[in-house]
Amino acid sequence: MYPLEVRKVMAVLGGVRTVGSSPNTPVERAAAIAQGLPGAVVPSLAINAPPNRPDARRRVAALVTSTASLKRWARLSPAASERAEHLARIVALAVQALGDADDAREWLNAPHPLLGSARPTDVSATDLGARQVERIPHNIEYGLPV
**132 in Cβ contact with 113 (< 8 Å):** no
Q: Tell me, what's the pLDDT at 144? A: 87
Residue 71 CB: number of other CB atoms within 10 A?
Answer: 8
**Following DSSP, what letter does each residue of 37-96 receive, concatenated?**
-BTTHHHHHHTTS-TT-HHHHHHHHHHH--HHHHHH-SB--HHHHHHHHHHHHHHHHHHH
pLDDT in tens, the chain (146 residues): 456 788 888 899 998 889 888 888 888 889 999 999 999 999 988 887 777 777 888 888 898 999 898 889 999 999 999 999 989 999 999 999 999 999 999 999 899 999 999 999 889 878 899 899 999 998 988 888 87
**98 in Cβ contact with 142 (< 8 Å):** no
Q: Tell me, what's the pLDDT at 22? A: 82
Q: Which residues pair with 38 in a beta bridge?
A: 75
Q: Tell me, what's the pLDDT at 2? A: 56
- Could you give the CA distance from residue 107 to residue 121 in angstroms, rounded to a whole number? 9
Q: What does pTM read for this prediction?
A: 0.87
Q: For the chain, give every domain's residue range.
A: 6-141
Q: Tell me, what's the pLDDT at 55? A: 81
